[in-house]
Amino acid sequence: MNWKQKSVIQNVTASLPRWLGSKIYYQMQRRFGKLGTADPRSRLEAGLRMLRYAEREGKAIEGSTVVEVGTGHRMNVPIALWLIGAARICTYDLNPYLRARLVLDDVAYMRANEQKIFDVFGDVAERAIFQKRWHRLMDMHVNADNFKHAFNVEYHGPGDAAKTGLADNSADLHVSFTVLEHISAAVLGSIMAEARRILKVDGLFIHHIDFTDHFAHADNTITHVNFLQFNEPTWMKLGGNRFMYMNRLRVDDMTALVLNANLEILHDDRLVDDRSLEALNSDLVVDAQFRNKSAETNATARQWVVARVLQDETVAA
Ligand SMILES: C[S@@+](CC[C@H](N)C(=O)[O-])C[C@H]1O[C@@H](n2cnc3c(N)ncnc32)[C@H](O)[C@@H]1O
């Protein structure tokens, strides 16, 4: 779909009373968008990648308490974490988007496609905890009343990840998948400070950020850096509505926020998009706020950032 048409539809829908706009937008996403079909694999892969990072740092997920920022409509990252052994998954979303119907469809997909799910998890699918939980997933009577409890999920929606209400030093992992790009820099600072407070001494902060212009996901006539040409007021008119809001922070800004929160970066895995790089190196004129950044920085499409809490003595040193 042409991105400008999508922007108009989103803005009109967002101007309706909140309950009505949300209902209409959800139905549109079900009919024409990403909520129309169930295929949980990309989020299960994300959960697996979180496990790989944790294990590289000597941290087990089995028995762990995980805090997730930005649940969204489905629960596939929490289900992946449950399958690989998490004991408690506390997930927060400012907007109560989670839908039982979608989660049940995802569970039905997993049950009907056992081999595809095992292929996602590879050798991890052979572990005793995975096998135990997989059999439970296959056998359990999961329904709209018990679907959160069945996967050890505590859902806080509406719930603000900047104010979790969890105890100090109580979380093993603090995670998100394609969420931080939708939150303002000021609020991100508060969420990171909260992560620092609730993470255990050996806890890990593991986040995946998608820096691309999300309008380009459904319109391949524009590049993933198309939105960098607009100044802030123009961009807010086009994509500042509650369905699309993107902070347009670049990978260097996000990394600086993590460091400013006194988190020590252990892994910083970036993917630069070639088509964006080509556009930036030829005719795309970006807004002044992006002009002093390198083309690689502006064209970074994705980042996995893994960090741990700097302890007070390390901060002081
Ligand atoms: C792109 S969506 C979620 C994507 C989901 N994680 C997935 O994998 O598909 C981003 C979510 O972050 C939520 N969000 C924004 N600010 C938040 C905050 N301060 N605390 C918790 N959730 C927040 C939004 O309501 C939205 O549902």
User: Does the C-beta of 155 come closer than 6 Å to ligand 1?
Assistant: no
Distance from C-alpha of 234 to C-alpha of 223, rounded to nearest angstrom? 18
Domain boundaries in the chain? 38-211+249-316
User: Does the C-beta of 67 come closer than 6 Å to ligand 1?
Assistant: no
Contact 261, 193 (CB under 8 A): yes
Q: Does domain 38-211+249-316 have CATH number 3.40.50.150?
A: yes
pTM: 0.95
- Tens digits of residue pLDDT in 29-54: 888 888 888 889 999 999 999 999 99
What's the average model confidence in pLDDT over 6-13? 91
Question: If you take atom 3 of ligand 1, which residue's CA is the nearest one?
Answer: 72
Closest ligand 1 atom to Cα of 187: 19
pLDDT at residue 130, as a whole number = 98
Distance from C-alpha of 66 to C-alpha of 64, rounded to nearest angstrom? 6
pLDDT at residue 315, as a whole number = 54
Contact 150, 142 (CB under 8 A): yes
Is 252's pLDDT higher than 80?
yes
What's the average model confidence in pLDDT over 276-301? 97
Token couple for 316:
């002081």
Q: What is the largest CA-CA distance in the chain?
A: 57
